[in-house]
Amino acid sequence: MVIHTLETICSLILTCARQVNRFVNVSALKHYFIVTNSYVINKLFLVLFPWRHKPWTRRQATGPSGQEAWYLPPRDDVNSPDMYIPVMSLVTYIFLQALISGLKGQFQPELFGYIATTALVAVIVEILGLKLGCYLLSISNESQLLDLVAYSGYKFVGVIVTISVAEIVNGGKGTGGWIGWTVFIYTFLANSLFLVSTFGVCQLGCPLLTFG
42 residue type, one letter: N
109 residue type, one letter: P
Nearest CA among 52, 54, 74, 70 for reference residue 62 = 70
pLDDT tens string 63-105: 666 555 678 889 989 999 999 999 999 999 998 888 888 877 7
From the DSSP assignment, how many helices (H) and strands (E) are in the chain? 8, 3
Q: Model confidence at 54, in pLDDT bands (50, 70, 90)?
A: confident
Question: What is the percentage of the chain residues whose pLDDT exceeds 70?
Answer: 71
Give residue 156's pLDDT.
93
Per domain, the residue ranges of the chain are: 37-211
Rg (CA), the chain: 19
pLDDT at 47 over 90: yes
Nearest CA among 145, 102, 94 for reference residue 124 = 145
Give residue 211's pLDDT.
45
59 Cβ contact list (under 8 Å, min separation 6): 71, 72, 76, 77, 79, 80
How big is the CA angle at 48 (ends 181 and 112), to the nearest 5 degrees? 70
DSSP percent split of the chain into helix, strand, coil, nearest 5: 65, 5, 30
Strand ranges (E), the chain: 60-62, 69-71, 209-211
Q: For residue 138, how far is the Cα from the chain centroid?
A: 24
pLDDT at 29 over 50: yes
pLDDT tens string 151-177: 889 999 999 999 988 888 876 666 667
Q: Model confidence at 196, in pLDDT bands (50, 70, 90)?
A: confident
Higher-confidence position of 52 and 172: 52
Give residue 177's pLDDT.
73
